[in-house]
Structure 1
């Protein structure tokens, strides 16, 4: 005997009635009440239906829209990929333009008619300051975005954050062509303020982007996450090409930042365009009428605590993954030299660090994220995801044993270039796979109206993990 759920609305509030198919309150009843029935689903079928049916599907009897819109030419999907690249692009370009920063902060004071070739304090400490200026405001703004996401409309958050990034990244581009030799202190302060503002706005954009992607099918969340890794690959290739063609530090930085300006502005204008597309509005706001206007704009209260109770294992896994990663990369890995450094050719002395530390890492990270999007396993056993994240911590001491210099405390045990490259590949691919599978599964285990909050919470955990890992990384560098 099949059971059914009757929703009676006569003479008072809606009452849910669970009855047998031969009861008096079914779809075939003769009573005056207005009843609707729906068949109960088994737990497995219910989970499957929640994954396959888009959030807020329009009723099948709607006279205006009988099925969900289509992503024509995969336009929204491709733009989500672009937004993923854009969300990490400022950081990737700031890091890969290291030669430019070394040039800007070189010692320009003559010493007995010569210029000192030693590193200045700005040159030696710039990367550490850059990490702090990027990670702390990012974490604060990710947490802030979690609390204000229901107060400030989505379009305002996205458009305003992209506008701020565009403005200050353009300022960074202009300063490339400005002679700052006589005001390095002031230039350093301006740069740090710019990094803080860009990364703060980028965190709001990235957190909101995760919230948006969480409302779509899992492939759209994968597109955002994969795009973040692809941005690192693009930046690494640009750096290697500049080395191959022996482009000056200022010219290569100007090219980096001009590309960044174009990508950010294109992301801004393209978002304004897709925010009016029916497919986009269908998933963000709910069902649409025949004019393309949302018919479901009611705000639903979502408890962050209740959502966190559902996703805490995936959140913990994601946090551990990024604490582990940022404690080693790039602080320790950028110090690892080729075993034949100083005696070999260009590969050992010029290309080893850019290729292995940036290109191979970002390519492996991207491959891991793409693989996770295709396999999507484990789908339900969250403890396996957490166990892999915890086991991955064991890779940290292995990197500490590699040929990183300068060092004065720990011995070098892994001095083979091949072994180090293999270790980097495993490190990168597990980072990408775990990050992607955690983000996707976190959006799967919550209700449709909780997906945005779940994705924003995961973004906040990601930021916290990066900040903690960066702090640990400074200690690990000093303990070498």
Structure 2
């Protein structure tokens, strides 16, 4: 019966398998005869040949598996996406975020150097009535700094400015460094005999500096756009830290330097050092595997988009997009309008009321105005990470209520240079001024961040969110310029208005 079963199974087997079976039996018999049965059996065991096992576990397309247009390094990056070890790329972008606002913060924080030293009546010998250079210096500085940005930001919505990334970022940083070198030379030069030349030279430096900085700022955000969203947040964090850093450097320079001239030299050389670090770290980014991976993914996405729009780019309905995001654009504009109407023009001209106040005259403006505002702004811009309130529909209410900051600061001990105040001082307390300054910075950082977050989500078509973001960015600069222009009126108000009390 057993033999019959075996014969029946043998008849059911294909002829090739029977032949292979007989061949295997013959091999085993021969191996046993030679005493090498284990070696022969292992050698003849059929196994697939695997040259690069990692390739067999990926989901790459056929073109990439055939190495069409892909280098071995790119293939390795795609198969093993790297991580940002030690958060090096994140820290570099924080540094570049500091660099984007370094020119603006360094110049407005140097008010004491410009107004109380280089353009002061004691240094130039000019009477206060003739010395209009010092009277509205920060307002003129703001227009010179933000005027070019206003034009570039609105033009960039409708005209996309191209050019190689490296060319734009390298030359913009170089121009900024040259401007700071000239500023240091002017600080070292005796300019008491030609205050007008010093004033106009400073304004020209500020214009050139901020034109270069506008290109640099757009380029840095372009770098971050290739990375995960958190890296754009790193630039914003760096920009907020920049103001606080500038304030601390200004205080430190005054503390260690024997005179305002030496303090200004130390101060502006620090800006040169930060910009040189930005220059060096930019060239370090392409060497980082994490950055190279996201650069590769960005290039592939661009190529895919080019193929999809081969029939021609879609026309952007600018007016429709603006109408949809106009509510948040107003919130952005009005937040910065109120902030720049008060800071730094009014805020930095408020004098100490109590002679026994804890902060002495030397550091009063640096601490109570610049450091207080910049710390408040930095904290306020971080708060939306924990939640935002109110929603997009009702955000305009607290934004409009912030207008109360303007009369409140005017009722403090605001003493613009060369102006005899007639408006009564109804808020004389230094601690009350400190509280107002903290609230101004905190609310400015918070509501500007929340409005910018809401703005892209107000458009009905997702492909136009970037256009809405550009409208929001342009409204930032528009609000800044409108606030700075309004600040020219406040010295006249406090010298011509009296409350009927």
TM-score w.r.t. the length of structure 1 is: 0.75
- Matched-pair contact (CA < 8 Å) for 2:253–2:267: no
2-structure distance, mates of 1:118, 1:408: 15
2:434 maps to: 421
- Matched-pair contact (CA < 8 Å) for 1:376–1:437: no
- Matched-pair contact (CA < 8 Å) for 1:210–1:456: no
Indicate the RMSD between aligned Cα atoms, in angstroms. 3.3
2-structure distance, mates of 1:402, 1:87: 32
Q: What's the CA shift for 1:461? A: 1.6
Residue 360 in structure 1 maps to residue 368 in structure 2: no
- Matched-pair contact (CA < 8 Å) for 1:282–1:288: no
Q: What's the CA shift for 1:86? A: 0.9
Which of these residues, 91, 96, 102, is aligned with residue 83 of structure 1? 96
1-structure distance, mates of 2:335, 2:296: 33
- Matched-pair contact (CA < 8 Å) for 1:304–1:453: no
Q: What's the CA shift for 1:368? A: 0.8
2:133 maps to: 122
Question: Gapped runs of 5+ residues in structure 1?
Answer: 1-58
1:226 maps to: 237
- Matched-pair contact (CA < 8 Å) for 1:364–1:425: yes
SS of 2:306 mapped into structure 1: coil
Q: Bigger CA drift: 61-70 or 452-461?
A: 61-70
2-structure distance, mates of 1:409, 1:351: 27
2-structure distance, mates of 1:347, 1:397: 25
Residue 404 in structure 1 maps to residue 414 in structure 2: yes
1:389 maps to: 399
Number of equivalent positions: 411
2:258 maps to: 247
- Matched-pair contact (CA < 8 Å) for 2:256–2:263: no
2:12 maps to: none
Judging changes above 3 Å, is the alpha-carbon distance between structure 1 residues 346 and 419 closer, same or farther for their aligned structure 2 residues?
Answer: closer
Which of these residues, 357, 367, 381, is aligned with residue 369 of structure 1? 381
Residue 256 in structure 1 maps to residue 231 in structure 2: no
2:477 maps to: 463
Judging changes above 3 Å, is the alpha-carbon distance between structure 1 residues 181 and 233 closer, same or farther for their aligned structure 2 residues?
Answer: same
Which of these residues, 71, 87, 103, is aligned with residue 84 of structure 2? 71
Q: What's the CA shift for 1:216? A: 4.4
- Matched-pair contact (CA < 8 Å) for 2:379–2:442: yes
2:153 maps to: 142
When Rg is computed on C-alpha atoms for both structures, the one with the higher figure is 2
SS of 1:383 mapped into structure 2: coil
Q: What's the CA shift for 1:360? A: 1.0
Judging changes above 3 Å, is the alpha-carbon distance between structure 1 residues 184 and 141 closer, same or farther for their aligned structure 2 residues?
Answer: same
Q: What's the CA shift for 1:463? A: 0.9
Q: What's the CA shift for 1:354? A: 1.7
1-structure distance, mates of 2:477, 2:279: 23
Q: Bigger CA drift: 425-434 or 67-76?
A: 67-76
Q: What's the CA shift for 1:404? A: 1.4
SS of 1:326 mapped into structure 2: helix
Mapping of residues 9-24 of structure 1, within 5 Å? none
2-structure distance, mates of 1:219, 1:384: 27
Question: Gapped runs of 5+ residues in structure 2?
Answer: 1-57, 66-74, 495-501
- Matched-pair contact (CA < 8 Å) for 2:357–2:430: no
- Matched-pair contact (CA < 8 Å) for 1:207–1:456: no
- Matched-pair contact (CA < 8 Å) for 2:139–2:487: no
CA shift digits 1:334-365 (9 cap, x unpaired) = 1222221xx33672533332211011111111
TM-score w.r.t. the length of structure 2 is: 0.72
- Matched-pair contact (CA < 8 Å) for 2:138–2:344: no
2-structure distance, mates of 1:297, 1:268: 31
Judging changes above 3 Å, is the alpha-carbon distance between structure 1 residues 467 and 269 closer, same or farther for their aligned structure 2 residues?
Answer: same
- More helix per residue: 2
CA shift digits 1:65-85 (9 cap, x unpaired) = 257543332222222211221
SS of 2:147 mapped into structure 1: helix
Mapping of residues 11-410 of structure 1, within 5 Å? 61-62=60-61, 64=75, 65=78, 69-102=82-115, 103-106=117-120, 120-213=131-224, 216-245=227-256, 247-275=258-286, 277=288, 279-280=290-291, 286-287=297-298, 296=304, 298=306, 301=313, 303=316, 305=318, 308=322, 311-340=325-354, 343-344=355-356, 347-372=359-384, 374-378=385-389, 381-405=391-415, 408-410=421-423
- More strand per residue: 1
1-structure distance, mates of 2:337, 2:294: 33
2-structure distance, mates of 1:272, 1:297: 28
